[in-house]
Amino acid sequence: MSKKAEIRLTQSERLLSLIDAFQDTPILLVGDMMLDHYVWGKVERISPEAPVVVVQVTEESERPGGAALVAHNLVQLGAKVYLGGFIGEDSSGLALKNLLENLGINTDALIVDPERPTTVKTRVIAHSQQVVRVDREKVGTVSGELGVELSKRLAQVMPDTKAMVVSDYAKGAVTETLFDLLDEKKSQLGFGKYPVVIDPKAPNFSLYRNATVIKPNRAEAARAANMEIPSRAHAISAGEILLRRWGCEIVLITLGEDGMVLVSNSPGLPSTVEIDTTAREVFDVSGAGDTVNAVFTLALATGAEPGDAARLANYAAGLVVAEVGTVAVTAQDLRAAVLISEE
């Protein structure tokens, strides 16, 4: 499409054309894999043993969680996904791998770590409300040998992909070895080339280098910038601090009900973009950050300007928080959300 044709497109037309371009775009995802286990039920009484509700179970389900949820989102949007990370040598790891492969995700870089169980988050939900969450996990950096093996496998698939997502939950999958790999690829990385998008987590802030975009939420940005963020203006100031600290091209800060701010020091890009939230109802914020990560990266990989990529991600986040539990947005859902916004 020519530059002149692009100028004539409305914002919604640009966003819809990006969604069309998602199909079969290859993305590499690396991060902390989790299995989300849901126990659904109803509450009709209080336990006689303690002042807690009794949940009568009606259904149980399992879904990809953590970095695996980002992969699920990418697939639902039409992307071709290559996934790298670790699972345990257990039934939960096997269940997660089966879920991913059934979605058509390439798991050649998914490695079994016999020293650590698969991270499982069990959420008990009654009457559309989360009653309790139970986590089973072992937090700690993977062994050096496994870290090296992961980097080798990632290096093999990088040439087949157009962007990398790093979904860091600080469980141990994201290590210095990964960024050593990015050091080797440094000349090939960046906006307009091969974007690397990182969803950060303390205490790993000092690890990140060679990133194109780093996407903290309000709390993460406040901690990393060592300042409070009560407003968008403060978020922009924090973003400017983090651009210098992390040496990336773009910082995208998600602010919940206050929308998002995008801050950049890259030539040719707006220095700031402010985006209002599109969420009309908020039932559950679980997985919203993972959805933003997926949509934003996929849009960049298809040639979107960062502002449009953030707008699309914002629409997707508005859809996710209106649902109970972690869900993956489809391309059809996202297209409908853009069209509704124009009515």
**For 268-292, what is each residue's pLDDT tens digit?**
788 899 998 775 555 545 568 888 9
115 token code pair: 């020293």
CATH architecture of 10-341: 3-Layer(aba) Sandwich (3.40)
CA distance 138 to 170: 11
Strand segments (E) across the chain: 26-31, 33-46, 53-66, 80-88, 106-113, 119-126, 129-136, 164-167, 196-199, 213-214, 250-254, 260-264, 272-275
202-223 pLDDT per residue, tens: 999 999 999 999 999 999 999 9
- For the chain, report the end-to-end CA distance as a whole number of angstroms: 26
**Axis crossing angle, helix 331-341 with helix 11-21, rounded to the nearest 10:** 180
104-116 pLDDT per residue, tens: 999 999 999 999 9
Q: Give CA 12 to chain center in angstroms.
A: 23
In this prediction, residue 12 has a pLDDT band, given cuts at 50, 70 and 90, of confident
Can you spell out the DSSP letters for 33-83? Answer: EEEEEEEEEEEEEE-SSSSSEEEEEEEEEEEEEEHHHHHHHHHHTT-EEEE
What are the residue ranges spanned by the domains of the chain? 10-341
Catalytic residue among 32, 36, 284, 290: 290
How are strands ordered across the β-sheet holding 53-66? Answer: 53-66, 33-46, 119-126, 129-136
CA distance 25 to 208: 25
- Based on the residue annotation, tell me whether 290 is a catalytic residue of this protein: yes
115-158 pLDDT per residue, tens: 999 999 999 999 888 899 999 999 999 999 999 999 999 999 99
